[in-house]
Amino acid sequence: MAYNPRDFYYQQAKKENYAARSVFKLQEIEKRFRIFFPGMVVLDLGAAPGSWSQYAAEKVGKNGKVLGIDLQAIKLTIRNACFITADIRALDLAQTMEENGFRPPFHLVLSDMAPKTTGNKLQDQMRSLELCEIALEAADRFLCKGGHFVCKMFHSEEFENFRKKCRDRYKKVELIRPKSTRKESKEIFFVCTGHINDPRDLASAAAQKSDPTPV
């Protein structure tokens, strides 16, 4: 979607030195749900061009860390953030984290991932759902117990099924369409707080299932 130089949020992002107007969506989410705290470790999926990582790095402070991943290169240098250019679908996340000095679990998983739109509504919705499922799986594996998960979705008939999956995993699941969202956009954000499971327990259970103790 082309930028409109007269757009208020576009101009405000430039004024505040953020990489994109999308930062104001995350700001609104934070003001309403208070998902950040100093010193936390954040995984930012679909991070390009970097405005969410910029904001996250500010909120977590010097003792916090942000790992941003995207297909597109992120041309920012942030002291407490690391950026990886890769396809999340083909990436060994655990190995990537280790190679870049990150030791799960994370306190917050963000996903602003979106497919390249084709103009085919159903196809775009299904691709968006696929990315949401990938982000949810990443949160299952790497998000600490009690941690938070934020995910963007193009609204579709699968919306309720995805919300149910989130409700099975988090104490609270809420929805928000930030004021800075473009009028023509069908996106909506899931804000899931209070991760119920501990990823270490899930990993242990998976290991036992794959290598059962002989009777």
* Residue 145 a catalytic site member: no
Counting every residue written for the chain, the total comes to 215
Task: For residue 213, give both structure tokens.
Answer: 């103790």
Query: Quick one: which of 110, 39, 112, 118 has its CA closest to 80?
Result: 39
- According to DSSP, the β-strands at 65-70 and 41-45 are parallel
DSSP string, 67-105: EEEESS------TTEEEEES-GGG--HHHHHHHTT--SP
Q: What is the DSSP pairing of strand 65-70 with strand 81-85?
A: parallel
Given 25, 59, 65, 152, the catalytic residue: 152
The residues carrying an active-site annotation are 152
